[in-house]
Amino acid sequence: MAADITESVPVSPWWGWAPPTPGGALSDGTLAVLAERLGVDAAAARRPGVLDTPPAEPPGESDLTPPALSGEALAALAAAVPAGAVAQDPATRVAHAAGKHTPDLLWQRAGTPLALPDAVVRPGTRAEIPAVLAACVAHGVAVVPFGGGSSVVGGVTPLAGDHHAVIALDLTGLSALLDLNERDRTATFEAGVRGPELERALAERGYTLGHIPQSHQQATLGGYAATRSAGQASTGYGAIAELITAIRLETPTGPLALGGHAPASAAGPDLRHVVIGSEGTLGVITEMTVAITRKPTAKAYGAWAFPSFEAGAEAIRALAQDGAAGDAPDVCRLSDEEETELTLAQSGGRPVELLRRWLRSRGIETPALLLGVWEGSGSEPKDRFKRARRILRAHGAVSATSAPAAAWDRGRFSSPRLRDELLTIGVLVDTLETAATWTNLAATHEAVATAIRGALASGPGGDAPSAVQGHVSHLYRTGASLYYTFIARAEADPIAQYERVKRAANEAIVASGATITHHHAVGTEHAAQLPAEIGEQGVRILRAVKRELDPTGIMNPGKLI
Amino acid sequence: MAADITESVPVSPWWGWAPPTPGGALSDGTLAVLAERLGVDAAAARRPGVLDTPPAEPPGESDLTPPALSGEALAALAAAVPAGAVAQDPATRVAHAAGKHTPDLLWQRAGTPLALPDAVVRPGTRAEIPAVLAACVAHGVAVVPFGGGSSVVGGVTPLAGDHHAVIALDLTGLSALLDLNERDRTATFEAGVRGPELERALAERGYTLGHIPQSHQQATLGGYAATRSAGQASTGYGAIAELITAIRLETPTGPLALGGHAPASAAGPDLRHVVIGSEGTLGVITEMTVAITRKPTAKAYGAWAFPSFEAGAEAIRALAQDGAAGDAPDVCRLSDEEETELTLAQSGGRPVELLRRWLRSRGIETPALLLGVWEGSGSEPKDRFKRARRILRAHGAVSATSAPAAAWDRGRFSSPRLRDELLTIGVLVDTLETAATWTNLAATHEAVATAIRGALASGPGGDAPSAVQGHVSHLYRTGASLYYTFIARAEADPIAQYERVKRAANEAIVASGATITHHHAVGTEHAAQLPAEIGEQGVRILRAVKRELDPTGIMNPGKLI
């Protein structure tokens, strides 16, 4: 059975993605690949230090900087929310100290978060938020809106900027379904609703949002909007920016409510797109209305191999450009040769051996694997699958049975858990992404993968083995996304190792003329590259809007711009 | 044969849409309906006054206010462009004095334009534009970017604002195809290219933009972007905002180049959406890249009748919401009972009599007609048509043969020409539009039509006959557009008559919670309603962006905000 998108998981622990999987999350196949490719003996690799098994208890009072929040500010915040909604205990502060990119987890595991919120405020109703913001303006306190805390770009790092203190504004108490309009096929939620909870509320009425990023089990709807997120099925359902019909932002200078009058409008610039992607720098997204779809009752899976990543890219380009509407799958993933090899090696066994033999018989030695999932009802997914298959075959696709696509669907939320276990055995792993036009796609893919490999090879330990794998995960008429996973034995300073990789990748992306981020957002991680993307004039526009809505600059300092 | 979208027409004359159609544009059917419904005898109705046949010559030097432009400003402008590119002759000034809504035409016909540009500057290259803007900043001259001049909301009225003079910046000299990238399926054009010219350049390579508003034969690509336009086939191809992948704006404080790095990005707010719909108030759109599609080689037409507009709306809602991707037609128009009746009455003849009889036999007395056009290649349009037909039939659609849809396609660009002739015979006609959610659609349609009827009936002449017809022309999952045509005998002061109608309609739209404009834009006509749409906070954002990019406020004063 495919992963259930209504299946909730506990809120992330402070040191990782999810509580440990009983029996461990690493399969025998994964362990074998680690041993063979990276020379990592998992059993022997559990070693002390920053990569040690996370401690059962977070740092205590004495390990942390005391909260900087002034007495007046604390009193004003306490007056803005019900009793108990302002917390300063170490566990709550540490749980809101970081997002989930690998440096965040390493800092957290070491008990040395980059920064700590001076308090965590958890409103119980939307009506409390203006008072919280007013208190922060009055007392010079920075505000970091905090949803699922799943940012992988430093988007929730509690930086105080020019202010005397910083709070994390935990929005997960605001998770109500406010309205479900079946005639309009829209649903209005409070912004703090997490992915599975949102899908459960819709599923009870027979609907889905269809926006399922890998972070789905932790992330919130508000976070999706703030980061201009794209789900794994965005090829079919559209990215979050296409799904939001109305959005409400509470700013330090008052509310901003946009959209909802009509499905489309020519009444000036579409300011929803200023809020979407604003990453908490303009205000707090408190509620939004999203377009919903009937929950699919049927799926078709397809997997094909191509002689190379480039050949596969040509085939999916034809599908996106010359296929009829709906031919492209809802989920479309084309792995490069390295990712395909690692996937097959981890699966292993007789079926994989037969598949390799079959592909060799068709002249494919180093396959690039394409997975597609078509969703809908009745015969529609299968019909669309057949139309797509015709185009793909005409471009050299060789069937690889549907099994790899179904397997992907089952395991689609597992990777972030694997990272926790890999870190524990001294393996550094993380992901990064971009998107490019079709013209630039192959060159960008090559440049970025080469940059990551080069950065990993240039460590103090010399040319240690690593794996750098990539795939296309979002398909458009004019181009596609590129997503990379890099895996290597952790160096003595794994954060420096990570930063070396990230710097090299960012440089390669900018030099390729691609976008610095397709769906992870900017945060602190990509802020230096934003001017290359939108120009100095674009940055000036963002600053002008921020000055207008947040004149004292309390909203999420140090992010985006 | 359907209207050829590469077919150019002469640039609009100063007094109307197009030069007179030889033999007249009004068919016998139209004349009969005018006589029967409005009591207008066309032959007898040619009468002197503001509605007289437009004079052959525009007003001369002595009829016009002399240009206010200072000598220094004129010299600076002349230095910014090649010789001959700055014009102040009466004919050129009058030709750039107005857009094309009915009051514009009435003022122009009367030789009393609302305002006149003090000069018309027509750059020959994009590189000249920064110097033109610098001259205008230095000498306090307002700038109205002028493309096809087809605004129906006062968007190109040459208002000087706080400045001593105003120029029209005629962009139609900038019409080059700069790049056609077949791999990316994108084309980059200079912004002044008119619709037919653009389609001709693409057709030579086998492509189309698919953005075909009724203004297509006059309007420019830059105008499409500036007004956040939607074409008649937007249900299939998407509105202009969805087709623009990159856009460049020259502002008084420098260039702003956005997009083009990738098909999608999460690098902060999508600032293209601040430029799209900015109506010349932030700067001059000089070039843009748009997504293109293979030119369709096959079409399927369908037409169905429903017992009422509401029943038809329910059927197209099902098509939009429960149809598979591509089931909805590229062009989708559902006429209300009044529009259907007038369309049938104008066609007349034996086929219409048979159709009426057939519909009556199926219990349909006052039909609401749905037209659909599906475009593509091979069997695809027909396949999509068949899938759509299944859904429409399940919702009570009765076939009306495909003839009405094919007839619409043939005549799709004719209405603006009809208006010229109707004005000449003393008939006031214009259109207005909105969009609403499905929940609000029927009530909005009723409220707006009633408001227009009421306003027409409340004239000095008492309850004179009129026709108010409406249709849905753009289909979305969450709602649809509504488009109205109103026709009445012109009162002695037809501008006051128009304004009475427009005021009543605007009030009804705002009271209904619908959008003040789906695709005509804001201009001067809807500026008062913008705060109801985006809130005071939204207006403040627009002002802040304008202050940043255009600190002296030279760009298109009095429009949008």
DSSP A173-233: T---EEEEETTTTEEEEETT-BHHHHHHHHHTTTEE-----GGGGT-BHHHHHHTT---TT
* Tens-digit pLDDT string for chain A (561 aa): 467 899 888 889 999 998 877 777 788 899 999 999 999 887 765 554 445 566 678 888 898 999 999 999 999 999 999 999 999 999 999 999 999 999 999 999 888 889 999 999 999 999 999 999 999 999 999 999 999 999 999 999 999 999 999 999 999 999 999 999 999 999 999 999 999 999 999 999 999 999 999 999 999 999 999 999 999 999 999 999 999 999 999 999 999 999 999 999 999 999 999 999 999 999 999 999 999 999 999 999 999 999 999 999 999 999 999 998 899 999 999 999 999 999 999 988 899 999 999 999 999 999 999 999 999 999 999 999 999 999 999 999 999 989 899 989 988 888 888 899 899 889 999 999 999 999 999 999 999 999 999 999 999 977 788 999 999 999 999 999 999 999 999 999 999 999 999 999 999 999 999 999 999 999 999 999 999 999 999 999 999 999 999 999 999 999 999
Residues ≥6 apart with Cβ < 8 Å to A312: A304, A306, A334, A368, A370, A397
Chain A residues with CB under 8 Å of B252 CB are none
Q: What is the C-alpha to C-alpha distance for residues B524 and B514, in angstroms, rounded to an integer?
A: 19
| Class level of CATH domain B190-294 | alpha beta
Residue B554 has what pLDDT? 98
Kind and range of the H or E run holding A58: none
CA-nearest of B338, B494, B344 to B425 is: B494
Beta strands A244-251 and A284-291, pairing class: antiparallel
Is A269's CB within 8 Å of B261's CB? no
CA-nearest of B379, B510, B489 to B429 is: B489
Report CA torsion sign: B191, B197, B201, B207.
positive
Is the distance from CB of A283 to CB of B289 less than 8 angstroms? Answer: no
Pick the residue from chain B with its C-alpha nearest to A380: B324
Pick the residue from chain A with its C-alpha nearest to B377: A324
Pick the residue from chain A with its C-alpha nearest to B294: A322
Residues ≥6 apart with Cβ < 8 Å to A338: A449, A467, A468, A469, A470
Tally Cβ neighbours within 10 Å of residue A47.
12
A6 marked among binding-site residues: no
Report CA torsion sign: B541, B545, B551, B553.
negative
Residue B51 has what pLDDT? 52
A283 marked among binding-site residues: yes
Q: What is the C-alpha to C-alpha distance for residues B205 and B186, in angstroms, rounded to an integer?
A: 12
Is A268's CB within 8 Å of B256's CB? no
Q: Looking at the partner chain, which of B261, B436, B521 has a beta carbon nearest the beta carbon of A513?
A: B261
Residue A50 has what pLDDT? 44
* Average pLDDT by stretches of 10, chain B with 561 residues: 81 88 81 91 60 72 94 98 97 96 93 94 98 98 98 98 98 98 98 98 98 96 98 96 98 98 98 98 98 97 98 98 93 97 92 95 97 95 96 97 90 88 92 98 98 96 88 97 96 96 98 98 97 97 98 98 93
pLDDT in tens, A297-338: 999 999 999 999 999 999 999 999 999 889 999 999 999 999
Pick the residue from chain B with its C-alpha nearest to A254: B537
Going from N- to C-terminal start, the domains of chain B cover 190-294, 298-410, 415-523
Residue B19 has what pLDDT? 82
CA-based nearest distance A106→chain B, Å: 25
Tally Cβ neighbours within 10 Å of residue B457.
14
Residue B381 has what pLDDT? 96
Q: Looking at the partner chain, which of B262, B270, B272 has a beta carbon nearest the beta carbon of A436?
A: B262
B415-523: CATH topology is GMP Synthetase; Chain A, domain 3 (3.30.300)
Structure tokens at A107: 């800092």
Pick the residue from chain A with its C-alpha nearest to B275: A269
Q: Looking at the partner chain, which of B255, B270, B376 has a beta carbon nearest the beta carbon of A537?
A: B255
SS3 B368: strand
CA-nearest of B463, B477, B407 to B435 is: B477
CA-nearest of B415, B509, B518 to B472 is: B518
* pTM for the structure as a whole: 0.97
Residues ≥6 apart with Cβ < 8 Å to A354: none
Is the distance from CB of B303 to CB of B372 less than 8 angstroms? Answer: yes
| Class level of CATH domain A177-294 | alpha beta
Q: Looking at the partner chain, which of A253, A325, A521 has a beta carbon nearest the beta carbon of B325?
A: A325
Q: Looking at the partner chain, which of B260, B519, B534 has a beta carbon nearest the beta carbon of A271?
A: B534
Is B263's CB within 8 Å of A229's CB? no
| Identity at A79, one-letter amino acid code | A
Q: What is the C-alpha to C-alpha distance for residues B95 and B79, in angstroms, rounded to an integer?
A: 23
Is B267's CB within 8 Å of A277's CB? yes
Is B526's CB within 8 Å of A477's CB? no
Residue A1 has what pLDDT? 46
Residues ≥6 apart with Cβ < 8 Å to B511: B447
Tell me the Ramachandran region of residue A238: left when phi exceeds 0, alpha when psi lies from -120 to 50, beta otherwise.
Answer: left
CA-based nearest distance A283→chain B, Å: 12
Q: Which of A235, A437, A522, A529 to substitute to test the interface with B, most B CBs within 10 Å? A: A437
What is the CATH code for A415-521?
A: 3.30.300.330
Given 1.20.140.10, 2.40.50.180, 3.40.462.40, 3.90.1150.10, which CATH number is that of A298-410? 3.40.462.40
Q: What is the C-alpha to C-alpha distance for residues B113 and B14, in angstroms, rounded to an integer?
A: 10
Residue A363 has what pLDDT? 96
Catalytic site positions of B: 483
Tally Cβ neighbours within 10 Å of residue A160.
20
CA-nearest of A14, A11, A25, A91 to A424 is: A25
Is B325's CB within 8 Å of A326's CB? yes
Residue A350 has what pLDDT? 93
Q: Which of A541, A543, A550, A556 to substitute to test the interface with B, most B CBs within 10 Å? A: A541
Tell the residue number behind the tokens 């849905």, with chain if given. B472
SS3 B429: strand
Residue A290 has what pLDDT? 98
Chain B residues with CB under 8 Å of A530 CB are 267-268
Please tell me what DSSP assigns to residue B62: G
CA-based nearest distance B510→chain A, Å: 9
Q: Which of B284, B330, B522, B537 to substitute to test the interface with A, most A CBs within 10 Å? A: B537
Residue B2 has what pLDDT? 67
Residue B193 has what pLDDT? 98
Catalytic site positions of A: 483
Structure tokens at A327: 């031919």
Q: What is the C-alpha to C-alpha distance for residues B10 and B539, in angstroms, rounded to an integer?
A: 38
Is B266's CB within 8 Å of A228's CB? yes
SS3 A501: helix
Is A437's CB within 8 Å of B263's CB? yes
Q: What is the C-alpha to C-alpha distance for residues A374 and A225, in angstroms, rounded to an integer?
A: 25
CA-based nearest distance B530→chain A, Å: 7
